[in-house]
Amino acid sequence: MPADSVLTVADLKLDRVERRVERASKRIELTSKEFGLLEYLMLNAGRRVSRTMIIEHVWNLSFDSGTNVIDVYVNYLRRKVDNGFGRRLIHTVRGVGYELSATDSSGPRP
């Protein structure tokens, strides 16, 4: 479906066909894992997703509670997608995981 090929949340656009990401018309270069993580968050925009859901869908692995790979990649994404822009889109939901949304419904971010 062509309509699903471009995902948009606020001023963030992800083109699933061209594998291209822009925020406020500024191109953002992502690794394939960062792209997969952002795509998953955008497909679930406005919904809270757990680390388990992320690792199963983006890494295709069963969750290892001792790994911090999700947190590391979310921090990479935050640096590229949120830093330098007025509004944060990637929110930490304490005790749950993460949420990508244009409104901050998760409280303050550490």
| Residue 59 burial by Cβ neighbours in a 10 Å radius (0-12, 13-18, 19+) | middle
Round the average pLDDT of the chain to a whole number and report it.
89
Query: What integer pLDDT is reported at residue 67 of this predicted model?
Result: 78
| Domain membership of residue 92 as a residue range | 2-100
Per residue in 15-56, pLDDT tens?
Answer: 999 999 999 999 999 999 999 999 999 999 999 999 989 999
How many domains would you assign to the chain?
A: 1
- Read off the CATH number of the domain in which 35 is found: 1.10.10.10
| 97-100 sheet: strands from edge to edge | 49-50, 97-100, 90-93
12 within domain boundaries: yes
Write the CA distances from 75 to 4, 71, 83, 87, integer angstroms: 26, 6, 10, 16
Per residue in 87-99, pLDDT tens?
Answer: 999 999 999 999 9
Is the pLDDT confidence value at 1 over 70? Answer: no
105 within domain boundaries: no
pTM of the full structure: 0.88
107 within domain boundaries: no
